Amino acid sequence: MKKVIPLLAITALLAGALAGCGGNANSSDPTSKKDNVSTEDPKEKVELTMWTYFENANQKKVLDDWTEGFNGSQSEIEVSHEYVPFADFKKQLSVGLAANELPDVVIIDNPDMASYIAMGLFADITDQISDWADKDQYFEGPWKSTMLDGKNYGIPMVSNTLALYYNEDILANAGVNPPETWDELREVAKKVTGNGVSGLGIAAPKTEEGTFQFIPWLLSSGATAEKVDGAEGIRSFTFLADMIKDGSLAKESINWTQSDVNKQFMAGKLAMMVNGPWQIPTLESEAPDLKWNVVQIPKDKQFSSVLGGENIGVVNGKNVDAAVKFIKYIGQAEIVKQTAIDYGAFPPRMDVAQDMTWTDDPVLKVFMDAMQYAMPRGPHPQWPEISNAMSTALQETLTLTKTPEQAAKDAQEKIDKID
């Protein structure tokens, strides 16, 4: 694995799209003032800047609550947040890195973090959080997404994942139950396909979104993103290709985004779809009479899912220690809980995930259960290139322009060159 990306390679990353912890004796008290930061000059307040691409009201509330709470909890550090448009975010980070004009903290889409770690944007904070007990509460997938080569560069902020939605009426009328395995999924999808309805819809465009949706199938077979041309990886491509051949997987999936898939599901044109929890508000508001539910994505060898969400990274600069104090503050259980609620996502902490907010809602509980095995994309400093190889192979497979074996082999050749 390449550990450093030359600065000249920064421009290549600009083409990639955003998809998609002992501590403190007072960690249970978000307003505690005892965990203050000691700076070299205690008379001079440390000013931290945090960059984000959040723009809706709920997301801004999260940021305001963080900064107001932290700033009020001690007197030595003051944090503010700055908005950078989503479309310009990666460019601004790369330009700022080249010009040495960067913030102190960055909120970033989790698959993008490794690339910027390799470029030197983020600071190694492994030692600063080694004795922070809270870190042991994070799910494996989200925590892994903040690391590269065994070192930590930040903490997870919020998480999401995928599950299988199904139309209760369509399945009931066909006399079938929600599938739990690949074999069951194929049989159910066949039985409910017809009369303008496809059994299953996924988002499979040649983008990060397509890779995001493909990874659960890949991991369930026992394959990995680094090895897709083995028997397991070929099986995952073959399974989806076979569903295309028998007409039970909508052939339009190659052009659909996750939003498009949800629209088809709401219109009654899909009996089942793979999608995330962010679709729930739309389903409830725009299709209030639709009877639907969710289950885990059916398994081959094991249940699998993929990690989405954001991380909070500490930028490599003069204020690393102060920034670590800030992320420890917002990583406390009570604040993580409120952040997830306000943001409309899932908490990356196992203890917070046991709160009735998620456990008492049968739909959210399915997604929350999937968090225990949701794995990040990578982490790898050249994830965009790996992702492109996979989404290309998926497109070639689903359009039947290549056999699963050839598509997987060609993808592996590209991935091997990256490594």
Domain ranges, ordered by start, for the chain: 35-160+308-375, 163-306+382-418
User: What share of the chain in percent tops pLDDT 90?
Assistant: 81
Those residues whose C-beta lies under 8 Å from the C-beta of residue 196, and which sit 6 or more positions away, are 269
Question: How far is Cα 304 from Cα 302, in angstroms, rounded to an integer?
Answer: 6
Q: Residue 372 has what pLDDT?
A: 85
Looking at residue 18, what DSSP letter applies?
P
Cis ω for the linkage preceding 379 (within 30 of 0)? yes
- For 105, 249, 283, 284, the CA distances from 292, given in Å and listed in that order, are 40, 19, 9, 10
pLDDT level of residue 35 (50, 70, 90 thresholds): very low
Spatial contact of 200 and 189, defined as CB atoms under 8 Å apart? yes
One-letter amino acid of 361: D
Dihedral sign of CA atoms 358, 362, 363, 369 in order: positive
Q: Residue 13 has what pLDDT?
A: 37
CATH superfamily of 35-160+308-375: Periplasmic binding protein-like II (3.40.190.10)
pLDDT level of residue 419 (50, 70, 90 thresholds): low
Write down the residue that tokens 């080569």 correspond to: 149
In tens, the pLDDT along 380-413 reads: 999 989 999 999 999 999 999 999 999 999 999 9
User: Closest Cα to residue 268, out of 209, 194, 161, 213?
Assistant: 194
In tens, the pLDDT along 260-289 reads: 999 999 999 999 999 999 899 899 999 999
The second-level CATH assignment, the architecture, of 163-306+382-418 is 3-Layer(aba) Sandwich (3.40)
Q: How far is CA 72 from the centre of its chain?
A: 31
Question: How far is Cα 367 from Cα 357, in angstroms, rounded to an integer?
Answer: 13
Q: Residue 344 has what pLDDT?
A: 82
Residue 14, pLDDT above cutoff 70: no
Spatial contact of 109 and 115, defined as CB atoms under 8 Å apart? no
One-letter amino acid of 352: V
Burial of 286 (0-12, 13-18, 19+ CB in 10 A): exposed
Q: Residue 10 has what pLDDT?
A: 38
Q: What is the average per-residue pLDDT within 77-96?
A: 93
Q: Residue 43 has what pLDDT?
A: 59
Q: Residue 3 has what pLDDT?
A: 36
pLDDT level of residue 323 (50, 70, 90 thresholds): very high
Spatial contact of 100 and 47, defined as CB atoms under 8 Å apart? no
Dihedral sign of CA atoms 287, 290, 291, 295 in order: negative
The greatest distance separating any two alpha carbons of the chain, rounded to the nearest whole angstrom, comes to 74
**Average of per-residue pLDDT values in the chain:** 89
Residue 357, pLDDT above cutoff 60: yes
Question: How far is Cα 235 from Cα 220, in angstroms, rounded to an integer?
Answer: 10
Q: Which two tokens stand for residue 176?
A: 């079938």
